[in-house]
Structures are given as C-alpha cells and as structure tokens.
Amino acid sequence: MMVVAVSAAAALAVERFPPPDFTDHQLPQTTTPHGRWLGWEYFDMAALAAGLVLASYFALGRRSRKGLVGLATVAMVWLGFWRQGCVCAIGAIQNVSLAVFDPSYTVPLTVIAFFALPLLVTLFFGRTFCAAVCPLGAVQELTLVRPVRVPGWVDQSLGLVPFIYLGAAVLFAATGAGFIICQYDPYVGFFRLSGNAAMITFGICLLVIGLFIGRPYCRYLCPLGAIFGLFSRVSGRHVRIPPDECIQCRLCEDACPYGAIRPPTVPQTPAERARGRRRLGWMLALAPVLVVVGTGLGYTLATPLSLVHREVRLAERMKLEEAGKVEGTIDASDAFRNTGRPARELYTEAIALRERFAFLGGLLGGWVGLVIGMKLVHLSIRRKRDEYSPDPAWCVSCGRCFEYCPSEQQTLIQELPTLEKSGV
C-alpha cells in the first residue's frame, strides 16, 4: 500500500496539471541542471585566505609594488572573470544583514568567510584586501593611466556616499526588498560578459573616469570600503611611508592617486588654536541634532521607501484596482488573484512591511545624520604630524608610494646583497 501511495505521489509530482492536447506538438523534455561541485566553495575560501596572506606580506613585509600588482591581476582573473564576481565580499554585506533580521535565512559558509576574513585582516593589517584581493579594486588599480588629483573638499564630501550607500543596502536587504549592491554592481557585467544596457553603460563610465581618478568606485561608492576605513583606523599595522625616516621630499604625496598621504602639520598660533576649539565645540553640539533630524526624516520617508518592495507595490495596485481608480489589471495582480489568496492577507503583509520600513528608515536617517556629524567633527580635529604619513582609513595599501620614496630605495640598495645571497 505504501509503495502504491509513493508511486502515485511521484506521478503527480511529475505532472501536477495535465498538459493540453495540441495536434502535432511535441512537449520539450524536462531537464535538471547539474549541481555545483561543493569543492569549489572550499577552494574559493582557501584562495581568499591565501590572497589575504600574500597581500599583507607584499604590502607590509616585502613592501613590493610588483608583488601587489601581480596578485591583483590573479584576483581579477580568478574572482572576477572566472568566478564571475560571485561570491563577492562587498555583496556579502546584504546576506549577513538579511540573516540578522530574518532568522529563517541561512547564510552560506562561503559568504560568511568572504565577509569575515577581509574584515579580520583589515583589523590587524589595514586595507590589504583592497590592495590586491578584491577584483573590483584590481580592475580600477590596473586601468589607472594618468591620475588627476581630486580637490580635498570634493574628496571629503563624496567620501560620505559609501556610508549612506551602506545604510541603504542594509535597509533594503533587511526588509527583503532586494540586494541593491549586486543589482547595481558596475563591473559584474564585464566579469560575466553580459548585463543590461544601463549597468554596462554605468560600468563603462566608471572605467573611463577611473583612467584619471584613482579607484572612483572604491573611494566614492563601495560600502565595504566604508567599513574597512573604520576598521583600518584601529588596525595594529598598516602601510607607513617611509619605513625609517621621512626627508619630506613630497614624492609619496605626488605618487598617491587617492589623496591618502597626509602632510606634516604646521604650528598654530594661540588664536588659531582657540578658533579650532570653538569650531570643534560647535560640531560636537551639532552632531546629535543631525542624528535626531535624520531619524525624523527617515521615519517620514517610510511610505515612499516601502514602495521599493514588490509586495507593497502589489498591495497598492490591488487597492487601486478594487476601488476602480485604474483601468484593467496587470500581470502581477492577475497572478495574485489566480493563487486564490484573499487580498486582505496581502494588505496585512504590506502594513507589516511598512512598519518595518518605518523603523529601519528611522535608523537609516539617524545613521546618515551620525555620519555627517562625525565627518564634521573629524574635520575639526587637528592631529599633529611630523612627517608625511598615509591616512589609515583612505590608504588602500597599493604600494605606489614605495617606488618613489628615496629612503625606501636606499634601504633596498643596502639590502640587495643579502637578497641576492638568499636567492630572492
């Protein structure tokens, strides 16, 4: 009896609905795609770990620009064109965000590794992942031809965008509205040799800009770069220029296309220090005000933000159709009616989603206010510097300044006999 029941269930599983009888028409044969070999996931994690170790060694130990360029080329070919940009450490932000707000969602082990390992390495060694492991950064690093310096105020202003983008990506992922980082990835179309016209055009524009502006996506869009910048500020080690003693030749400042080299500070008069303290006081007082205002604006924008979610859009459309305010129906509303579900269930889901958007929208607005406030406070703080040094938050450990530093070259000349004897 059990065998008969199982056989009947299997038959129904094959054809739940009998196909229509068409004359002289042959139904296509159903095929099942082959599953992906799970070994690739472990290989990708091992390759990521090896790449992070090599990038940290080339940037901090060997201080080799050539080694970093070679590793970036391999990362671009392997993680970019061969693996087609997936798994992506940047996009993993969305998977982790969705898992935090939706316990039913399980994050794959590979995604966790691609999210956690770069952050852990950044916490100890600075942004070496950006230097030569990230395929998006590698594309930009290898296509930079004639760097042009970006004015400081423009650089600092656009540097706020990745933090705002990060907040928006977490909001849309947490509500199930979509993974906007993946949807608007400007380089995945090149890696996969396919994509819609709008994103291909966007990617081409960024590549053209990247010929002259160093890493425009990394500096002004990448949400993971925003997190790396915060982690790198407290990292135990990061790139230093020069390794021994700075002669203030300014060659490293001219060689850096990312505006990451900070010059020595000049002494201030008592009046200038007093003005600086007053300015810092005003910025500290303004920061909480910006957080409160941003939270309020984010809460009020919950309704338009929620329309990004397909369920909310469908509920709005169904209401208009039932009220007779629009003519006809659309495919989505017809498909919903065919399911037999009552419209009230859809409206209840839409209300719950709007409440979630109101809560998370308020958090997003507060986050944006906090980011702007902290940027104003940061710009008001004066840190004493006696030599040229990379800003740990902005420096991507690319090693361009190594080859221009006279002290660096002198050190290499002194070490050359030892290196030759060791076969390096």
- Residues 373 and 287 sit within 8 Å (Cβ to Cβ): yes
User: How many H-runs (helices) and E-runs (strands) does the chain carry?
Assistant: 21, 2
Residue 189: CB atoms within 10 A of its CB come to 20
Q: How far is CA 148 from the centre of its chain?
A: 24
Average pLDDT over residues 109-119: 94
- Model confidence at 103, pLDDT cuts 50, 70, 90, reads confident
What pLDDT is stored for residue 264 in this prediction? 87
Cα–Cα distance measured from residue 133 to residue 197, given in angstroms and rounded to the nearest whole number: 28
Q: Which residue has the higher pLDDT, 14 or 252?
A: 252
Write phi, then psi, for 405 (nearest 5 degrees). Answer: -80, 120
What pLDDT is stored for residue 8 in this prediction? 43
Residue 258: CB atoms within 10 A of its CB come to 22
Average pLDDT over residues 298-311: 90
Cα–Cα distance measured from residue 308 to residue 171, given in angstroms and rounded to the nearest whole number: 11
Cα–Cα distance measured from residue 307 to residue 355, given in angstroms and rounded to the nearest whole number: 12
Task: Supply the mean pLDDT for the chain.
Answer: 87
Per DSSP, 85 falls in state: T
Average pLDDT over residues 176-187: 92
What pLDDT is stored for residue 407 in this prediction? 75
- Model confidence at 193, pLDDT cuts 50, 70, 90, reads confident
Cα–Cα distance measured from residue 384 to residue 173, given in angstroms and rounded to the nearest whole number: 41
- Model confidence at 41, pLDDT cuts 50, 70, 90, reads confident
The pLDDT tens digits of the residues spanning 132-166 come to: 999 999 999 999 999 999 998 999 999 999 999 99
What pLDDT is stored for residue 387 in this prediction? 82
What pLDDT is stored for residue 13 in this prediction? 43
What pLDDT is stored for residue 135 in this prediction? 94
- Tell me: pLDDT of 369 over 60: yes
- Tell me: pLDDT of 204 over 70: yes
What are the residues whose beta carbons fall under 8 Å from the beta carbon of 75, sequence distance 6 or more?
A: 51, 132, 133, 134, 135, 138
- Model confidence at 18, pLDDT cuts 50, 70, 90, reads low
- Model confidence at 38, pLDDT cuts 50, 70, 90, reads low
- Tell me: pLDDT of 333 over 50: yes
Positive or negative torsion for Cα 118, 259, 213, 54: negative
Lookup result for tokens 């906090």: 370
CA 204 vs CA 133, 153, 199, 216, 336: distances in Å: 22, 26, 9, 12, 39
- Tell me: pLDDT of 36 over 70: no
